[in-house]
Structure 1
Amino acid sequence: MSTLVCFHAHPDDECIGTGGTIARASAEGHRVVLVVATNGDHGEIPADMPAGKTLVEVRHAETLKSAETLGVHRVVWLGYEDSGMTGWEQNTNAGAFCNAALDDAAQKLADVLREENADVLTTYDWHGGYGHPDHIMVHKVGHRAAELVPVRVLEGTMNRDQIRRGIDAARAAGLLKEDEGFNADGPADDGNPMGTLESEINYKFDVVKYAPLKRAAMKCHASQLSDSGFFMAMDDDRFAAQFGNEWFIDPKSNEPMRDGWIFE
């Protein structure tokens, strides 16, 4: 069996882009390790925050619950501060992940890759899907770590064409008004369109069987449900249609998109 290391920016990022891949890999008997770069301290503060608890403590517990739901065998925290969205004052904090020394952060991840004798590392596409400073840093750190400890790297991304189709379908079904939702081709956090065009993606992983687990893991992050409420409101069939595939770029491949699997 093989070992998969999934590298993510924040607590809850593991669910949407790789939740199905994690669940499938674990169910098939592979070892799965989740590495989280930041503590998520600049996420949404819930109105029902437990007395005496910090947001970091709450999100840490939520991530452990999500990881257990998906079948993760080990969770590693790199310990950086959340950088916040582009333009936030937190971007300048010395402890923010986006300001970390690249080689130092990469060495922390490389240590995990070496300890686990990892076969595959997932990171993000070149602009982290939508331009979040921490997501961009995950891309950079992931690739640098793979230079220190050779491992196959796959970049998780969002299928822009699929997002567009999903929004159109939601509007057609009356779930969204014409002026609701967002423009999949419009500027995201860094001014670039969200995700990647289907024509530039190499792999589609079929994880529809694991969509219920993926959804259950998303629900574990109760403090951040304001970010995923639209997804949670979908019926099971629509959720599976939208999230039953996960999308990856192989930076060493020029092949067109095809159905595949992470350990092939």
Structure 2
Amino acid sequence: MPTIVFLHAHPDDEASQTSGSMARAVEEGSRVVVVYATNGDHGESPDDLAEGESVVDRRRSEAERSAEAIGTHRIVWLGYADSGMTGWEQNAGENAFASAPVDEAAARFAAVLDEEDADVAVGYDWHGGYGHPDHVAVHRVLHRGAGLAARRPRVLESTMNRDAMRRFNDAARAAGAPEAQDFDPDQPMDDGNPLGTPEAEIHWQVDVTPWLATRRKALEAHASQTSDVGMMLGMPDDVFAVFFGHEYYIEAGREPGMVRGWPFGA
């Protein structure tokens, strides 16, 4: 079975974006490794931090609990600082991932790929889904790192299906759902681009509905991030299933057309 290395920007990104695929891969016998580019130090600071405990400490422990829920075999930290959202002064901060030399960060990632003799490397689409500087940097580091690896792995980019979100939101708005009124996947996100990727540019749709409970547990592990994770966990079960029942991937060089299948086979 293949070894799959997932590169994520911050602890909790794995839970919201690829935890279903990760859990299925583990269940089917693959080795699954998650690499965090940053320590997530600009995440929310919980009120219950113990004396001497930092936000970084908490987020690392939450990442470990998420890995336990998913079954992830190994966690690796690339050692960069969280860069914050677009325009924040932290974008250019000391050791910020978004401003790190791409070759330097890619060499760190490639070292993990070589240690694992990875078959597949997974990161984000060209604008990181919604334009966060660290997510955009993941895309660059993913491709450069895969190119530096001794045995070049297949490369997949996690993304969101913009058209599917629009269809769901239109249906919810027509039904009078209040949460649909303020959501528009076509509006400019952090970098001015709309959310995710048009369906015509996506290659893989993965049905992860059997692993929705695992996805919830992975999100629950990141309890300190009450704004984003709390919003996701607050969704009714039927809404949660629509948003998190499928994961989407782009595979550069593959013929156009979205396949409903499993891209992580042996």
Determine helix, strand or coil for the equivalent of 2:121.
strand
Asked whether the equivalents of residues 90 and 96 of structure 2 are also in contact (C-alpha less than 8 Å), the reply is: yes
The alpha-carbon distance between structure 1 residues 220 and 173, as it changes in their structure 2 partners (threshold 3 A), is farther
Asked whether the equivalents of residues 106 and 145 of structure 1 are also in contact (C-alpha less than 8 Å), the reply is: yes
In the alignment, the residues of structure 1 paired with residue 221 and residue 186 of structure 2 have an alpha-carbon distance, to the nearest angstrom, of 30
Query: In structure 1, what is the equivalent of residue 167 of structure 2?
Result: 165
The alpha-carbon distance between structure 1 residues 88 and 157, as it changes in their structure 2 partners (threshold 3 A), is same
What amino acid sits opposite 2:124 in the alignment?
Y
Query: In structure 2, what is the equivalent of residue 247 of structure 1?
Result: 248
What amino acid sits opposite 1:109 in the alignment?
F
What amino acid sits opposite 2:60 in the alignment?
H
Query: In structure 2, what is the equivalent of residue 10 of structure 1?
Result: 10
The alpha-carbon distance between structure 1 residues 18 and 93, as it changes in their structure 2 partners (threshold 3 A), is same
- The alignment status of 1:79 with 2:118, answered yes or no, reads no
Query: In structure 2, what is the equivalent of residue 207 of structure 1?
Result: 208
Match of 1:152 among 145, 154, 162: 154
Counterparts of residues 174-193 of structure 1 (less than 5 Å):
174-177=176-179, 179-180=181-182, 182-193=183-194
Query: In structure 1, what is the equivalent of residue 30 of structure 2?
Result: 30
What amino acid sits opposite 1:26 in the alignment?
V
Determine helix, strand or coil for the equivalent of 2:227.
helix
Determine helix, strand or coil for the equivalent of 1:32.
strand
In the alignment, the residues of structure 1 paired with residue 193 and residue 167 of structure 2 have an alpha-carbon distance, to the nearest angstrom, of 19
In the alignment, the residues of structure 2 paired with residue 166 and residue 219 of structure 1 have an alpha-carbon distance, to the nearest angstrom, of 24
Query: In structure 1, what is the equivalent of residue 217 of structure 2?
Result: 216
Counterparts of residues 97-112 of structure 1 (less than 5 Å):
97-112=97-112
Q: Deviations over 1:12-70 (max 9, x none)?
A: 00011101000000011110000000000001122333332100000000001001100
In the alignment, the residues of structure 1 paired with residue 28 and residue 254 of structure 2 have an alpha-carbon distance, to the nearest angstrom, of 26
Q: TM-score, normalised by structure 1?
A: 0.95
CA RMSD, 1 decimal = 1.4
Structure 1: runs of 5+ lacking an equivalent: none
Query: In structure 1, what is the equivalent of residue 46 of structure 2?
Result: 46
In the alignment, the residues of structure 2 paired with residue 131 and residue 241 of structure 1 have an alpha-carbon distance, to the nearest angstrom, of 23
What amino acid sits opposite 2:130 in the alignment?
Y
Structure 2: runs of 5+ lacking an equivalent: none
- Equivalences, count: 263
Greater shift, 254-263 or 99-108, is seen at: 254-263
Query: In structure 1, what is the equivalent of residue 195 of structure 2?
Result: 194
Asked whether the equivalents of residues 219 and 225 of structure 1 are also in contact (C-alpha less than 8 Å), the reply is: no
What amino acid sits opposite 2:25 in the alignment?
A
Identical amino acids, percent of aligned pairs: 55
- The alignment status of 1:65 with 2:65, answered yes or no, reads yes
- The alignment status of 1:137 with 2:100, answered yes or no, reads no
In the alignment, the residues of structure 2 paired with residue 107 and residue 8 of structure 1 have an alpha-carbon distance, to the nearest angstrom, of 16
1:147 Cα offset (Å): 0.7
1:234 Cα offset (Å): 2.0
In the alignment, the residues of structure 2 paired with residue 172 and residue 55 of structure 1 have an alpha-carbon distance, to the nearest angstrom, of 41
In the alignment, the residues of structure 2 paired with residue 186 and residue 27 of structure 1 have an alpha-carbon distance, to the nearest angstrom, of 37
Q: TM-score, normalised by structure 2?
A: 0.95
Asked whether the equivalents of residues 162 and 242 of structure 1 are also in contact (C-alpha less than 8 Å), the reply is: no
1:261 Cα offset (Å): 0.9
What amino acid sits opposite 1:32 in the alignment?
V
Asked whether the equivalents of residues 22 and 70 of structure 2 are also in contact (C-alpha less than 8 Å), the reply is: yes
Greater shift, 84-93 or 222-231, is seen at: 222-231
